[in-house]
Structures are given as structure tokens and as C-alpha cells.
Amino acid sequence: MPVGYRQLPPLSEIPGIRLAAVAAGIRYQGRDDLVVMELAAGSRAAAVFTRNAFCAAPVVVAREHLHRAMPRYLLINSGNANAGTGEAGLAAARDCCQALAGLAGCDAAQVLPFSTGVIGQQLPLERVRSALPAALSALSASAWAPVAEAIKTTDTVAKGVSRQLQIDGRSVTVTGIAKGAGMIRPDMATMLAYLATDAKVEAESLRACLQAAVARSFNRITVDGDTSTNDACVLVATGAAGGAEVSRAHPDYPALCEVVAQVCERLAELIVRDAEGATKFVTVEVSGGADSRECLQVAYAVAQSPLVKTALFASDPNWGRILAAVGRAGLQDLDVSRVEIFLDEVCIVHRGGVAPEYREADGQRVMDQEEIRIDIRLGRGSARERVWTSDLSHDYVRINAEYRS
């Protein structure tokens, strides 16, 4: 089970959004695996996608469609990534969009496709097509929870969060769901995440809001250092709350962006809490860097070290592994005599060596916890960054070894 998280909380409806999840038998039997999300006419959408060179066919098609038109529908399947499938995969993604568009009475470019699951297998088109009428018939404003369940792959729980704020005196809601548990070091977003608000937001301002939120959330997590072929994050603004259009010049724009970022941060955190086989939720904080880049360089060197991650799994206060990871992070002219490292509030490294006051029992007390903070102070500047990660357990190996079986 996830660290410190047991079940999906109640999720608020977003006026202008209807959703449905149905069973298409794409890979899983006896569970929903196909999702349709309908966006009200006039909705605006922004998205970010993986930077993996082998991006999946639906990513290619979704990018193309988003450049041509604002979407009216999102089509999501789990169990099959439609990645590494060449021209046939691209044709399948386009065919799915065309099939949904034909039933819904819109242009195919107004459908954005998304897939997650096993790489290298062709998408079973007929199963998707056959399930679309049932999905359209089942569309409901209250289906956020079953949709969050349907997009899961190796996730053990559905992930979602809702937040409210006031814009021009009107109540506005932001709801988001996400899936992801492995193949996580996003290079834009996470595996799949969908957020919606009933605020009315200008298109370019919506894009800026999403990009800023992603930078401090989904781009600050790692489970195993692997960027997926299918990563995508979408933010939709339906405008159903009414009121004046929100742009970057609007006095409530910063508040909207802050709430969107909070939703993204919570979803990103839940992905790490539900990391494959995880028993620990770990925050790596790096401060005193010359700039953000080198803080992240150090943070990821520690967060992705198999030696550090296995020590975390064993609850072993083997601080030398953290020290070594900081040292190999590649910072130029690092003065190790100025580096300090803490486990929570316990100083383990001072002036490049073991802290005089450090006692193994103190380190053990922290490592025995489910939630741990590794605090690294570089003493080179004022920059600060944070990354969330997990431990590396026997179950991570088992889950990924058995993934296709």
C-alpha cells in the first residue's frame, strides 16, 4: 500500500466536464480500461508531453491535434502504451480519434488520445471502437473516481485531489487525477495526469499556469530515473464558473496558479507514495547551491542512487552512500569542507566528514520512519530545490520482472 495514503478522497465535479470509464478488454479482464472525457464547447486546454525521443503514437497525435484545434474529447486507454509501434501505431491512434469523433459529431482533431501500459504491442482497435458507444452513453459529471481507477496500471490506488478558491468573488474548483507508480522520472510531467477547472482562463495564460505548476511538481519526482514514452499532463478550463476571463494581468491569476500547482504537487507526491514496491517516502532537499540546476543535479544523484535507495529500504543509516552520491554529482569546484548533510534534524556530515555529535542510534531512529528527509547544504550560494523519491525494494524488482506475465 502507498506510504501514508490509503484511498481516493471525494473529488469535486467540474461544471463543463463529463467522464466515463468502461471495460474494453484492451489488456485487463474484469476492470474498466477505457476512458472518455467530454469538454464543454468553449473550453480551453493546455498540455505538456514527454521529451522521450521514442514518444508514443498517441503523444505524436495529441500534439498534432492540439496545434490544430481546442479539444472536445480526451480518449484514454490503459494496458497498452501504443509506443514503439511505428506507422501502424500512429494509424491506430488516429483511427481511435476518428471513431470517437464520428460518434460524438466533432472533428477528429478535437479528440486527444492518450495511452499507458505495455510498450511495443499494437493497440487492439476493434476493442476500443466497440467500447466507445457505451462510454459516450455513460458520460457523467460525477465519474472522476471510476476514471481515476481505470487509468491505473501498476498503481495500487487511484490518485486524485480537489481544491477550491475564489476568483472575482465566485467559487472556482480545480480537480485533478493522475496515474503512475514506476517508469517515473518525468521530463515535463508524469505518466498521465488530468486537471480541470471551471474558471474561465485565457489560452496562453492557461499554458503558462500549467508549465509553472509542472516545473515544481511532476518535474521534481523520481522513482527509478526512467522517463516514460507516454508522459502527458493536461489542464482544461471550461469557463463554466462565469465571470471575467482570467489572464496573467488578472489580480486573481496568481491565486489560480498557486491552487493548480498545489493540486499538481499533491498528485506528484501521491505517485511517489505509491511507487512500485515502496516502503519509504523520501524528500531530498538541497540548499546553498549556486543555482537551481546544480541543486537538482545533487538531488537527483542522491534520489536515484540504487545504493542510497536500497539503504533506505533496509532502514540502514549508511550515510556514506549519500556522501558519495553528492560527491559524484559533478559539481565543479565543490568545497566538501562546507557541505553538511542531515537526516531530518540529525546532522550526519559536517565539514566533509562525520559530524562530531552524530550517533548511529540517532540516524537509525530517522531511518526507521516511513517518511524521511535528506537535507543537503552545499554552502555555495542561495539556490534551493526539492525532489521526492522512494526506496528500492524487493517488490520493485518483482513487479517489473513480472510486468508482462
Q: What is the pLDDT of residues 93-126, one digit of tens each?
A: 999 999 999 999 999 999 999 999 999 999 999 9
Task: Average the pLDDT over 27-31 and give the result.
Answer: 92
Q: Residue 339 corresponds to which cell in the numbers above?
A: 557541505
As to burial, measured by CB atoms within 10 angstroms (0-12 exposed, 13-18 middle, 19+ buried), residue 382 is exposed
Q: Do 189 and 258 sit in the same domain of this protein?
A: yes
Query: Does residue 10 fall inside a structural domain?
Result: no
Residue 119 belongs to what domain range?
17-273
Quote the pLDDT of residue 186. 83
| Whether pLDDT at 227 is above 90 | no
Q: Do 322 and 394 sit in the same domain of this protein?
A: yes
How does residue 190 score in pLDDT terms, banded at 50, 70 and 90?
Answer: low
Q: Do 149 and 89 sit in the same domain of this protein?
A: yes
Residue identified by cell 486573481 is 252
How does residue 21 score in pLDDT terms, banded at 50, 70 and 90?
Answer: very high
Neighbour order of strands in the sheet with 353-354: 353-354, 346-350, 340-343, 371-377, 281-289, 383-390
Q: Which residues are catalytic?
A: 190
On whether the CB atoms of residues 378 and 335 are closer than 8 A, the answer is no
Q: How far apart are CA 83 and CA 56, in angstroms?
A: 4
Q: Residue 80 corresponds to which cell in the numbers above?
A: 497498452
Span of 67-76, 138-147, 182-191, 274-283 with lowest mean pLDDT:
182-191
Q: How far apart are CA 381 and CA 291, in angstroms?
A: 7
Residue 59: give its domain's CATH number.
Answer: 3.60.70.12
Query: Does residue 111 fall inside a structural domain?
Result: yes
Q: Do 247 and 305 sit in the same domain of this protein?
A: no
Q: Do 50 and 112 sit in the same domain of this protein?
A: yes
Residue 356: give its domain's CATH number.
Answer: 3.10.20.340
Q: Do 263 and 333 sit in the same domain of this protein?
A: no
Which residues sit opposite 308 in a β-bridge? none
Query: Does residue 329 fall inside a structural domain?
Result: yes
Q: Do 245 and 378 sit in the same domain of this protein?
A: no
High-pLDDT (> 70) share of the chain, %:
99
Kindly list the distances between the CA atom of residue 283 and the CA atoms of 19, 292, 312, 345, in Å, as whole numbers in the listed order: 34, 16, 12, 13
Q: What is the CA radius of gyration of the chain?
A: 22
Count of domains forming the chain: 2
Q: Do 133 and 266 sit in the same domain of this protein?
A: yes
Quote the pLDDT of residue 368. 98
User: Residue 361 contacts by C-beta under 8 Å, 6 or more apart in sequence?
Assistant: none
How does residue 36 score in pLDDT terms, banded at 50, 70 and 90?
Answer: very high
Residue 321 burial (CB count, 10 A): 18
Q: Do 257 and 296 sit in the same domain of this protein?
A: no
Last residue of a domain, one of 273, 292, 319: 273
| Whether pLDDT at 188 is above 80 | no
Tens digit of each residue's pLDDT (9 = 90 or more) over 147-174: 999 999 999 999 999 999 999 999 999 9
Query: Does residue 5 fall inside a structural domain?
Result: no
How does residue 184 score in pLDDT terms, banded at 50, 70 and 90?
Answer: confident
Last residue of a domain, one of 210, 245, 273: 273
On whether the CB atoms of residues 243 and 207 are closer than 8 A, the answer is no
Neighbour order of strands in the sheet with 170-179: 44-49, 232-237, 192-197, 170-179, 159-167
HEC secondary structure over the chain: CCCCCCCCCCCCCCCCEEEEEECCCCCCCCCCCEEEEEECCCCEEEEEECCCCCCCHHHHHHHHHHHHCCCCEEEEEEEECCCCCHHHHHHHHHHHHHHHHHHHCCCHHHEEEEEEEECCCCCCHHHHHHHHHHHHHCCECCCHHHHHHHCCCCCCCCEEEEEEEEECCEEEEEEEEEECCCCECCCCCCCEEEEEECCCECHHHHHHHHHHHHHCCHHHECCCCCECCCCEEEEEECCCCCCCCECCCCCCHHHHHHHHHHHHHHHHHHHHHCCCCCCCEEEEEEEEECCHHHHHHHHHHHHCCHHHHHHHHCCCCCHHHHHHHHHCCCCCCCCHHHCEEEECCEEEEECCEECCCCCHHHHHHHHCCCEEEEEEECCCCCEEEEEEEECCCHHHHHHHHCCCC
As to burial, measured by CB atoms within 10 angstroms (0-12 exposed, 13-18 middle, 19+ buried), residue 131 is buried
Q: Do 141 and 162 sit in the same domain of this protein?
A: yes
Residue 187 or residue 348, greater confidence: 348
Q: Do 44 and 171 sit in the same domain of this protein?
A: yes
Tens digit of each residue's pLDDT (9 = 90 or more) over 320-346: 999 999 999 999 999 999 999 999 999
Last residue of a domain, one of 273, 302, 333: 273
Which residues sit opposite 118 in a β-bridge? 80
Query: Does residue 6 fall inside a structural domain?
Result: no
Kindly list the distances between the CA atom of residue 345 and the CA atoms of 206, 349, 373, in Å, as whole numbers in the listed order: 39, 12, 9
On whether the CB atoms of residues 123 and 153 are closer than 8 A, the answer is no
